[in-house]
Amino acid sequence: MGKPTGFIEYLREDPSELPAVERIRNWDEFHLPMPEDHLRTQAARCMDCGTPFCHTGITINRMASGCPINNLIPEWNDLIYRGLWREALERLHKTNNFPEFTGRVCPAPCEGACVLGIHNPPVTIKNIEYSIIEKGWESGWVTPEPPQKRTGKKVAVVGSGPAGLCAAAQLNKAGHWVTVFERADRPGGLLMYGIPNMKLDKKAIVMRRLELLEQEGVKFICNTEIGKDLPAEQLLKEYDSVILCTGATKPRDFPIEGRDLKGIHFAMEFLTENTQALLEQRDPGISAQDKDVVIIGGGDTGTDCVGTSVRHGCRSLEQLEIMPQPPLERAPNNPWPEWPKVYRLDYGQEEAAAKFGDDPRGYLTTATKFEGDEQGQVKAVHTVQIKWERDANGRFTPQHVPGTEKVIPAQLVLLAMGFLGPEQPLLDSLGLDRDSRSNIKAEYNQYNTSIPGVFAAGDCRRGQSLVVWAFDEGRGVARECDRYLMGSTDLP
């Protein structure tokens, strides 16, 4: 490495952010760029560790450890330390089609597996990745690179989320004609409508990359739902191969008393409507303004609902989390290089705490009933604390704790409890085999479904997961699709 003793000499420095009370006034990204000399110092902390677990990309205890797309992290850290930014960008693009997305929204399993992180704060890998790609765009190094020749093969990609975009980009590089079908009014899938603008700017960042893909030859067809607006059989006839990247968009419901009251929405419905309204410069159809908001569920989606509700100007906010509060440091049963399951104050909770005085999450708490008014509008959520105990089969189940009942006022309730898998109508129309969790049945690293020439990748195959896993699968399915079309492949 360029600075073998850097990890001893320098402390971790995280990028600066606008203060929470200031950034909740708008929908702009709030991370501030780090000066170049500071970035070089942070890159110098990357150790000559022998085995860089940061880019192993394995799964331990059902969690990512290291980078799933095997980013060449030590290499570009060394290049940044030496001031070789363009060379660092070239190394970054070898494994990552869209580092401007992962550099903003990835939870950075690479940092959780950093060897330095065993005893000290890990290297700021995510911020360095973000800085490399932004330097590339600013310097004019990221330009359209259409293929020099075409194969004549046509591929249809259904879904323009992270997996679909990666598959399209790679297959276009291989010279195939790629058409991406998207049922929404804009391409991008989760990147466009599932992640709020303050985390990932739609016009400045997402559209910038989508326009580059179009300039390289990828065709996007929006407002078209396969199986509804266009028969799935037509794709099989008109294209040499079809790749399904439809995501896991079936939300987990919460069928307790009062679920049919007005004012109770799935989180993604709320987030999508908000981004559409922002792009169309109108008021959102679902607003938290001047309302008491209760968010049921944690995770990134719950956090995004918190940040969005605070920006709307909610009157109060509580977030119910059925799991216990994580420890401040790694527990003995959560050793390195597993993803560290520790307490974090994410951006949304930080903003809620700045406005209301405390972390809005109530742990070991669940809702038991939604209460409505005479007009059928939700007005309160009845809750109870729980404890986890083993049932007769030895499985941990939540048990109510008597005497802990509580009634929380709420005119808006958002359900952010995860997703159950892909929506089924398209899969039914094609007659695809599915696994026990209702996902499309296709082996990892092969991606071929029960229909020859039809492939599946991303959340519709593996279930709800990280954006970076979608990138891994999008690249992988492109490789296998290219092999199917041409007999061999040079795609990584």
CB 65 within 8 A of CB 339: yes
Say yes or no to pLDDT of 452 above 90: yes
Say yes or no to pLDDT of 178 above 90: yes
Say yes or no to pLDDT of 7 above 80: yes
Say yes or no to pLDDT of 430 above 80: yes
- Model confidence over 198-255: pLDDT tens digits? 999 999 999 999 999 999 999 999 999 999 999 999 999 999 999 999 999 999 999 9
pLDDT at 62: 85
Helix, strand and coil in the chain, % to nearest 5: 35, 20, 45
- Model confidence over 97-136: pLDDT tens digits? 999 999 999 999 999 999 999 999 999 999 999 999 999 9
CB 281 within 8 A of CB 316: no
Say yes or no to pLDDT of 1 above 70: no
CA distance 70 to 53: 10
- Model confidence over 67-85: pLDDT tens digits? 999 999 999 999 999 999 9
- Structure confidence at residue 50 as a pLDDT band (50, 70, 90): confident
Is the backbone peptide bond immediately before 337 cis, with ω within 30 degrees of 0? yes
How buried is residue 279: exposed, middle or buried, by Cβ count under 10 Å (0-12/13-18/19+)?
middle
- Structure confidence at residue 256 as a pLDDT band (50, 70, 90): very high
Instruction: Give the pLDDT mean for 153-163.
Output: 98
Nearest CA to 327 among 339, 340, 337, 336? 340
CA distance 256 to 258: 6
Q: What is the mean pLDDT of the chain?
A: 96
Strands (E), 307-372: 316-321, 361-363, 365-372
Q: What is the DSSP code (8-state) at residue 262?
A: B
pLDDT at 195: 97
CA quadruple 289, 295, 298, 300: dihedral, nearest 10: -30
Say yes or no to pLDDT of 2 above 80: no
CA distance 370 to 256: 7
Is the backbone peptide bond immediately before 74 cis, with ω within 30 degrees of 0? no
Nearest CA to 384 among 361, 362, 408, 366? 366
The domains found in the chain, sorted by start residue, are 6-138 (1.10.1060.10), 154-249+420-486 (3.50.50.60), 253-417 (3.50.50.60)
- Model confidence over 320-335: pLDDT tens digits? 999 999 999 999 999 9
What's the whole-model pTM score? 0.95
- Structure confidence at residue 401 as a pLDDT band (50, 70, 90): very high
